[in-house]
C-alpha cells in the first residue's frame, strides 16, 4: 500500500490526452506575413488564406496554423471535415490537443537547413527548416503497412530531395508520442531519446478543432489538474500524519522504557529505605510500648464472657506485635466458640478475634483464639485483678 502511494506521488499528474492525426489527410501551405504583424493580424490572414486556397469554407474544415512572433511566414494546414468520421471526432472530446503528427515536432530544437523525418500513420513525414523557426515545408509520402525496407528507404530519399538543401537530417525510428512535461502549461513529445516541447500558446493555434470547443476542453483540463493537486496534497498530508503518529508512538515507548529503567534502578534504594523505616518503627514501638499480657487477658477473660471455655495456654510476643494474644483453650460445648468470639468483637478494646479450624472431639472441643487489640486501648492502670482461668 505504502509503495503504491509513494509511486503515485512520484509519478506526478498523468500525461494529457492528445490526438495525433494522420499527416496525409491535411494540405499544408506556407504563407508570407509582414514582420511587424501581430497575432490578430496573422489570425485574420490565415482565415483569408483558407478562403482563397481551399475549395471549402473554413466552417467545413479542421484547420490550424503555426506562427512565431517576428517570423516572416505562417504555416497553415487544413483538412475537409468529412475526411474524419463522426466516431473519430467524438473521440476528440476528452483530448486536450488535436493536431496533425507533424505539429508535434514544430518546436523541436534544430539547426538551420535541417530536415526531420519520422514514420507517420500512413507513411513518412518530413519537416524542413531553412533559416527560421517556422518550417519552410511539410512533406509526406504514403506507404502501405506492408512496405519493404527498400520502399521506405526510397520514400525517405525522395523526401530529402524534395526538401532541398538539407545540411542536417534527424531520423526518428518511431512516431513522437505525448509524455509528461515538467511544465504543466506546455506539452512534451518523445520518440526514444528525441524530445520536442510545444508551448501552450502554439498549441492553441495548432489545434484543429473549433476554438469555442477548445476553450471548454482547456477549462476541463485545468479542473482535472486542480483536483489532482488536491488529491496529492491530501495523500501527502496522510503520509505526514502517519509518520507523525509513528514518531509519537515511538517517542512514547522510548520515554516509558527510560522511566521503567530509572524506576527499576531505584527499587533497591526504595526497598532499603522501607526496611530501615520499618526497623526504626519497630525499635520505637519496642522502646515506647511494652506488652501488657495480664491486662489484655483480664480484658477478655471475664467468666460471663467465656461461658464454659477454659484457657489452657496464653502466648504474647513482640514478634506478633504488642497488641496481639494467642490463646489455646477448650470447651465441652462447641457452640460456645462463636458466642464467645462475637462477645469479644463487641468489646471497645478488641479490633479482631478469630478462631481458625477448631478441633471438635467427643465431649471436648479444643481451639486456638487469636485476639488483636486496638492500639492504646489497654493501659496498665486499667488492669483488673482476677484469674482468667
Q: For residues 75 and 190, state if they share a domain.
A: yes
pLDDT for 218 equals 65
Same domain? 200 vs 327: no
122: left (phi over 0), alpha (psi -120 to 50) or beta: alpha
Tell me the angle at which helices 2-11 and 211-288 cross, rounded to the nearest 10 degrees. Answer: 140
Within 13 Å and on the Cβ side, how many CA atoms surround 183? 10
pLDDT (0 to 100) of residue 382: 46
Do 297 and 167 sit in the same domain of this protein? no
Claim to verify: residue 181 and residue 316 sit in the same structural domain: no
Predicted local distance difference test score (pLDDT) of residue 320: 64
Residue 162 confidence (pLDDT): 87
The residue whose grid cell reads 496464653 is 314
Examine residue 199 and state whether it is found in any structural domain, yes or no: yes
Task: Give long-range contacts, CB 8 A cutoff, 24+ apart: 283-292.
Answer: 285/322, 286/318, 286/322, 289/322, 290/322, 291/316, 291/317, 291/318, 291/322, 292/322, 292/378, 292/379, 292/380, 292/383
The total number of structural domains that make up the chain: 2
134 and 18 in a common domain: yes
Does 215 map to a domain? no
pLDDT, residue 279, reads 77
Task: Find where cell 534544430 sits.
Answer: 110
Q: Are 158 and 48 members of one domain?
A: yes
Domain match, 183 and 330 both: no
CATH number for the domain including 364? 3.30.1360.100
CA 82 vs. chain centroid, Å, equals 51
In-domain check, residue 238: no
- Do 350 and 204 have their domain in common? no
**Which of 209, 230, 259 corresponds to the end of one domain?**
209
Tell me the mean pLDDT per 10 residues along the chain, length 389: 52 77 93 88 91 86 93 94 90 88 93 92 91 92 89 91 85 91 87 92 90 70 73 82 83 82 78 80 62 78 73 75 82 84 86 88 87 81 45
Q: Are residues 47 and 175 in the same domain?
A: yes
Residue 113 to residue 128: CA distance in whole angstroms:
7
Residue 2 lies in a domain: no
Q: Of the residues 160, 178, 209, which one is the last residue of a structural domain?
A: 209
User: Judging by DSSP bridges, how do beta strands 114-119 and 168-171 pair with one another?
Assistant: parallel
- Predicted local confidence at residue 31, as pLDDT: 93
Check whether residue 191 and residue 71 sit in a common domain: yes
Whole-number Å distance between alpha carbons of 108 and 139: 17
The answer as to whether 348 is a domain residue is yes
Domain closes at, from 184, 209, 234: 209
Q: How far is CA 320 from CA 280, 316, 317, 326, in A?
A: 16, 8, 6, 9
Task: Kindly state whether residue 219 falls inside one of the protein's structural domains.
Answer: no
Assigned domain for 281 exists = no
Residue 273, pLDDT score: 84
* Structural domain harbouring 131: 12-209
* Domain match, 185 and 71 both: yes
* 137 inside domain: yes
Q: CA angle, 129 as apex, 123 and 133 as ends, to 5°?
A: 125
Instruction: Based on the fold, state whether residues 21 and 127 are members of the same structural domain.
Output: yes
Amino acid at each position: 500500500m505504502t509503495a503504491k502511494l509513494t509511486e503515485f506521488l512520484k509519478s506526478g499528474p498523468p500525461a494529457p490526452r492528445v490526438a495525433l492525426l494522420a499527416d496525409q489527410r491535411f494540405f499544408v501551405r506556407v504563407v508570407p506575413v509582414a514582420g511587424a504583424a501581430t497575432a490578430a493580424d496573422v489570425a485574420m490572414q490565415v482565415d483569408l488564406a483558407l478562403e482563397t486556397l481551399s475549395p471549402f469554407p473554413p466552417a467545413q474544415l479542421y484547420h490550424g496554423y503555426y506562427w512565431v512572433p517576428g517570423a516572416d511566414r505562417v504555416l497553415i494546414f487544413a483538412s475537409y471535415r468529412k475526411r474524419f468520421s463522426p466516431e473519430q471526432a467524438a473521440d476528440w472530446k476528452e483530448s486536450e490537443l488535436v493536431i496533425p503528427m507533424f505539429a508535434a515536432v514544430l518546436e523541436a530544437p534544430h539547426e538551420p537547413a535541417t530536415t526531420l523525418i519520422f514514420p507517420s500513420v500512413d507513411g513518412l513525414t518530413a519537416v524542413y527548416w531553412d533559416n527560421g523557426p517556422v518550417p519552410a515545408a511539410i512533406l509526406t509520402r504514403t506507404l502501405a503497412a506492408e512496405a519493404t525496407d527498400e520502399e521506405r528507404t526510397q520514400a525517405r530519399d525522395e523526401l530529402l530531395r524534395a526538401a532541398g538543401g538539407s545540411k542536417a537530417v534527424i531520423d526518428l525510428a518511431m512516431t513522437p508520442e505525448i509524455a509528461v512535461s515538467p511544465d504543466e502549461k506546455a506539452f512534451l513529445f518523445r520518440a526514444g531519446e528525441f524530445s520536442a516541447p510545444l508551448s501552450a500558446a502554439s498549441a492553441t493555434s495548432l489545434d484543429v478543432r473549433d476554438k469555442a470547443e477548445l476553450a471548454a476542453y482547456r477549462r476541463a483540463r485545468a479542473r482535472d489538474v486542480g483536483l489532482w493537486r488536491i488529491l496529492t496534497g491530501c495523500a501527502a498530508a496522510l503520509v505526514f500524519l502517519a509518520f507523525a503518529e509513528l514518531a509519537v508512538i515511538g517517542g512514547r515507548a522510548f520515554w516509558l522504557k527510560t522511566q521503567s529503567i530509572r524506576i527499576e534502578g531505584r527499587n533497591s534504594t526504595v526497598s532499603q529505605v522501607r526496611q530501615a523505616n520499618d526497623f526504626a518503627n519497630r525499635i520505637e514501638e519496642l522502646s515506647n510500648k511494652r506488652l501488657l499480657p495480664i491486662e489484655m487477658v483480664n480484658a477478655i477473660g471475664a467468666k460471663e464472657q467465656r461461658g464454659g471455655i477454659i484457657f489452657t495456654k496464653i502466648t504474647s510476643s513482640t514478634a506478633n506485635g504488642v497488641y496481639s494474644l494467642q490463646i489455646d483453650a477448650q470447651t465441652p460445648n462447641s457452640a460456645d466458640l462463636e458466642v464467645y468470639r462475637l462477645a469479644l468483637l463487641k468489646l471497645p478494646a478488641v479490633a479482631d478475634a478469630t478462631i481458625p479450624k477448631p478441633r471438635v472431639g467427643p465431649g471436648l472441643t479444643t481451639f486456638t483464639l487469636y485476639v488483636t487489640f486496638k492500639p492504646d486501648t489497654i493501659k496498665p492502670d486499667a488492669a483488673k485483678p482476677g484469674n482468667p482461668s
